[in-house]
């Protein structure tokens, strides 16, 4: 089953487990385990492709996933919060959570894990959005979305926080729907995003208390 799902070409092999095994970064057992996981997750993505995709849902999911491109929707929300003096402290927390997520996900884990995108190795899987030029794990869209949305969910009234969280979950699922991420990419991104949000909600108030004059100056601008 897994052998039927996986389809490697020379360029792909050069970037996957075989390359990392050659470089001494993975053991032979880890390579086999990663390929088995890819096969299992590939079957999930193929099920989504064969059972959920439709002419009606495709443009909707493409639009939803585009909302998370470069974190633009969350950056715009954060900028609005920063502009308004009353919501500026919340905007600082949102910004901090996304910066933490960017550093951990895009600058550290993606390059360390170096996981190939599913559409490159799962036979029959078609990606319906522009192909990505970075690694797959974890999902940056999901990290960004949950980092900001979880802060809004915890710090704002439900009429604001719940829609934000729902949008973040939809963006995360859309990454599976369009075929650009594995399920564990999305799960990992969600965990990292929520952890970054919790870190920001804890750290920013601590810094505000430690540097009250600087905080007052920043929030008064």
Tell me the backbone φ, ψ of residue 122, rounded to 5 degrees.
Answer: -95, 110
CA atoms within 13 A on the CB side of 162: 3
Query: Distances in Å between the alpha carbon of 47 and those of 1, 54, 136, 169?
Result: 14, 13, 19, 19
Rounded Cα distance between 215 and 60, Å, is 42
Low-confidence stretches of the chain (pLDDT beneath 50) = 1-5, 8-33
- Angle of the 28-51 helix axis to the 183-210 helix axis, nearest 10: 100
Rounded Cα distance between 218 and 178, Å, is 41
Residue 219's pLDDT is 72
Tell me the backbone φ, ψ of residue 46, rounded to 5 degrees.
Answer: -65, -35
| Rounded (5°) CA angle 117-47-186 | 45
Torsion angle of C-alpha atoms 57, 169, 111, 41, degrees rounded to 10? -60
Residue 221's pLDDT is 64
pTM above 0.95, yes or no: no
What are the pLDDT digits (tens) for 100-131? Answer: 999 999 999 999 988 889 998 888 999 999 99
Is the Cα torsion angle 93, 99, 101, 104 positive or negative in sign?
negative
Residue 58's pLDDT is 97
Q: Which DSSP symbol is given to 106?
A: I
- Angle of the 183-210 helix axis to the 158-177 helix axis, nearest 10: 140
Rounded Cα distance between 146 and 101, Å, is 9
What are the pLDDT digits (tens) for 47-58? Answer: 999 999 999 999
């Amino acid at each position: 089953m897994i052998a039927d799902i996986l389809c490697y070409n020379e360029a792909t092999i050069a970037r996957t487990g075989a390359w990392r095994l050659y470089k001494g970064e993975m053991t032979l057992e880890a390579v086999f385990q990663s390929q088995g996981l890819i096969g299992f997750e590939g079957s999930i993505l193929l099920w989504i492709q064969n059972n959920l995709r439709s002419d009606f849902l495709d443009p909707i999911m493409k639009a939803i996933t585009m909302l998370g491109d470069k974190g633009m929707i969350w950056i715009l929300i954060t900028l609005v919060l920063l502009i308004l003096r009353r919501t500026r402290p919340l905007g600082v927390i949102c910004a901090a959570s996304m910066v933490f997520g960017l550093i951990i996900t895009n600058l550290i884990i993606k390059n360390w894990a170096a996981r190939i995108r599913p559409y490159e190795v799962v036979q029959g899987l078609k990606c319906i959005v522009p192909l990505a030029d970075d690694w797959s794990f974890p999902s940056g869209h999901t990290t960004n979305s949950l980092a900001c949305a979880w802060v809004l969910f915890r710090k704002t009234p439900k009429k604001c926080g719940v829609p934000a969280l729902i949008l973040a979950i939809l963006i995360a699922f859309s990454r599976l729907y369009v075929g650009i991420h594995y399920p564990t990419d999305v799960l990992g991104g969600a965990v990292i995003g929520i952890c970054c949000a919790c870190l920001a909600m804890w750290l920013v108030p601590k810094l505000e208390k430690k540097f009250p004059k600087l905080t007052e100056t920043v929030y008064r601008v």
